[in-house]
Amino acid sequence: MNTKLFHSLEGEKIYFKALSTEDAQEIHSYASDPEVSIFIGWNLMNSLDETREYIELMLNREAEGTHLYASIVLKSTNEIIGTAMIFNFDKEANKAEIGYMLHRDHWGKGYGTEIVALMTDFAFQSLHLHKLYAYVVDANIGSARILEKNGYELEGRLKDNYFIEDKYYDALFFGKITNQ
């Protein structure tokens, strides 16, 4: 997998860079926010050490070739504002899952749409994948809209798929097939 190319993706307002334990403090600022982590597949990071350990886990997964991760950096400030990932690669079916999380201060500013566009183009053009997909908690309306803006279609709903803070939520399954 071309990790160097993934880590060098650049958009109009943001760019990707390789994850680093040196950035643990910035990553912890959103990974420790309950409002950010509630609908993401990550556990809430309760300490800086816990965040640093999770970054090390992500780096190991990437080194093994099972995941691609990147820190999302805001061009105007060089501040890390989120994490992007491509994972659950299925070589036989030629597909993978995407995920992303953003610091709450940067929601609703179009960065998520740009992140998904960069990952989608990279996956189809550089990895030559046939399909990308994402699972979204149905209450996460912003994330669903980001996918729709990028041409992902709602393919299904999994009833009561998530149990978060003593409440069940449906999972929305979005997919996009390459035009090539």
> In the prediction, which pLDDT does 180 show?
63
Q: How far apart are CA 179 and CA 157, in angstroms?
A: 24
Tell me the two tokens of residue 86. Answer: 């491509």
> In the prediction, which pLDDT does 166 show?
85
> In the prediction, which pLDDT does 164 show?
82
Q: Identify any residues that bridge with 173 across adjacent strands, giving them in sequence order.
A: 135, 156
> In the prediction, which pLDDT does 38 show?
81
Domains along the chain?
Answer: 3-177 (3.40.630.30)
> In the prediction, which pLDDT does 39 show?
80
> In the prediction, which pLDDT does 66 show?
94
> In the prediction, which pLDDT does 33 show?
92
pTM of the shown model: 0.94
> In the prediction, which pLDDT does 41 show?
65
> In the prediction, which pLDDT does 179 show?
78
The pLDDT averaged over each successive group of 10 residues in the chain (180 residues) is 91 97 96 86 85 96 96 98 97 96 95 98 96 95 96 98 88 92
